[in-house]
Amino acid sequence: MAAASAAMGRPLMPHQRLVVDVFLEVQSEEAGDPEPGEWAYSDGTVTMQRRGGKTAIQSPLVTHRARLVRGAQMFMTAQKREKARRRWMDITNDLLRSPLRRDVHRKTSIGHEELTWLDGGAMLIPFAPNDDEMHSETPDLVLVDELWAFNALQAKAIKAGYVPAFATTGGQALKQSTAGTQDSAWLNEEIRAGRAAVEAGVTIGRFYAEWSLPDRVGGVRIKDLEDVVLIDACIGHHPAVCHTSGCVGPRQRRPCPHGFTVRPTVIRDALAALGREEFVRAYGNRSQEDLSALWTAITEQHWTDQTDPGGIPSGAPARFGVWVDEDGLDAAVSSGWRDENGRMHVEAIGRRDGVRWVVPWFLERVDRSKTPVAVPNVGAARDVADELDAAGVPVLRISQADVAAAVSRHRQELAAGMWWHRVNTDATAAAAAVGLRKSGGGRVWDRPGESISLVGSQTMAGWGFDHAPVVELTKFYMA
């Protein structure tokens, strides 16, 4: 890849090199990978700020694939065919302006464009996201740009065109985007799954890279930053801005001596031109949805401060808790354990839509003769508790009054530094969204629209540890 970018006369910036180096990793026998010689990642998502240099990643990537695979079939798309054509033109213009221009031939006509490598016959073709142009093709590489613009139906249709083909070609798909909105179904799902994969240490199958503003800058939430601080933060976190001491990056026609491409003054001027929300999306790579969490029931600072670096030790007598959405829309499982110093440690194990998966999950993974599973004895959760009982899984039924007491204890211990949770993106989203409602003489978790089941299951796991009968250690088997 370094040779491909060098041949084009454009060295990669560090973040671009990171993307291509990791995305093009190959499985190895030495590492114990299951398929040595195959790509480590068949699927990749990269999300970064505007002007981060996405095209400069794509151009050497397609050149590398064209030289690696004779007759390689490469396709690219964006939110509309005209947008896909523009991105295709960006890449092909890159190549035609480079020393590689003698190696390729560009063909353009109404509704049909191709870039062909003269030696080997590889082709790069743009396609519309709403047609079947790629169906029946055998792509070796698929590029999707502006992922924020795709809805769930478009995502399903596009993936149906290339995912089955990868079974024979061993191809890869790389999707890129800046932050979107709450309607950016495909991007939002990729961000959720990608962050979870990174947290889990996944090194096979799914590649994910993100450059964006953190949730807090200097301890202050992004939405509460003063304009001058927000601008400086966006400059400081933009991967295409030079941060070498004393260097101000590119200035007018003078390139940055260190190879970076974005002028800080452009970002400084953009806030007034774009408005705060669009500025944060474009140059902070954070969506309005990222910034709108209310954190009404749990204090964000407490949640952030109580991240558990070690988790529950292997062999600890963990207890399990289940939370079921009041309408049965989803359910979650977590584990909990209190250490010798009285600190509660909880870990989110899993959340899925519906409730039918809960009983089989426990039957496959937990020794049923051991610790009871803590489940609320109310609403749809009560039905799940009945099913666990019938299947021979012991259950600690939590009354509605005790659910309120468990919620109160969870919040109090979190605030007091006595409740620690393992990093989990979905659990954090649930903690940000969860609300409270009155129930009898206390208050219980309330769902405002988003799933809160991972928070609820952690509450149940903690209560279960403190109240379940003392028995032998629970045996827990990961699938």
pLDDT of res. 368:
53
Token pair recorded at residue 51: 């002007």
Token pair recorded at residue 420: 């620690």
Token pair recorded at residue 234: 């966006």
pLDDT band at 474 (very low <50, low <70, confident <90, very high): very low
Q: Higher-confidence residue: 115 or 112? A: 115
Cα-Cα-Cα-Cα dihedral sign, residues 299, 300, 303, 304: negative
Closest CA to 160 of 181, 139, 188: 139
Distant-in-sequence, close-in-space partners of 67: CB < 8 Å, separation ≥ 6: 4, 117, 120, 122
Residue 290 has pLDDT above 80, yes or no: no
- Is the separation of the CB atoms in 427 and 348 below 8 Å? yes
pLDDT of res. 132:
65
- Is the separation of the CB atoms in 164 and 131 below 8 Å? no
Token pair recorded at residue 392: 């021979």
The string of pLDDT tens digits covering residues 344-375 is 999 999 999 999 999 999 998 766 556 799 99
- Which residue in the block uniquely carries the two structure tokens 């491409």? 261
Residue 319 has pLDDT above 60, yes or no: yes
Residue 478 has pLDDT above 80, yes or no: no
Give the residue ranges of DSSP H helices in 200-346.
Answer: 227-237, 264-274, 276-284, 288-291, 300-305
Closest CA to 286 of 233, 323, 324, 241: 233
Residue 293 has pLDDT above 80, yes or no: no
Q: Distance (Å, rounded) from C-alpha 336 to C-alpha 345?
A: 6
Share of the chain above pLDDT 70, in %: 92
pLDDT of res. 375:
98
Q: What is the DSSP string of 121-153?
A: --EEEE--TTS-TTTT---SEEEE--GGG--HH
Residue 5 has pLDDT above 60, yes or no: no
What pTM, to 2 d.p., does this model score?
0.76
Residue 9 has pLDDT above 70, yes or no: no
- What are the chain's domains? 2-210 (3.40.50.300), 216-291 (no CATH), 300-467 (3.30.420.240)
Question: Cβ–Cβ contacts within 10 Å for residue 137, how many?
Answer: 17
The string of pLDDT tens digits covering residues 116-145 is 999 999 999 999 887 566 667 789 999 999
Residue 182 has pLDDT above 60, yes or no: yes
Give the residue ranges of DSSP H helices in 181-317.
Answer: 185-199, 227-237, 264-274, 276-284, 288-291, 300-305
The mean per-residue pLDDT over the stretch 101-108 comes to: 92
Residue 207 has pLDDT above 60, yes or no: yes
At position 16, the amino acid (one-letter code) is Q
pLDDT of res. 254:
81
The string of pLDDT tens digits covering residues 307-318 is 998 899 988 999
Share of the chain above pLDDT 90, in %: 68
Token pair recorded at residue 318: 């963990």
Q: Distance (Å, rounded) from C-alpha 424 to C-alpha 311?
A: 11
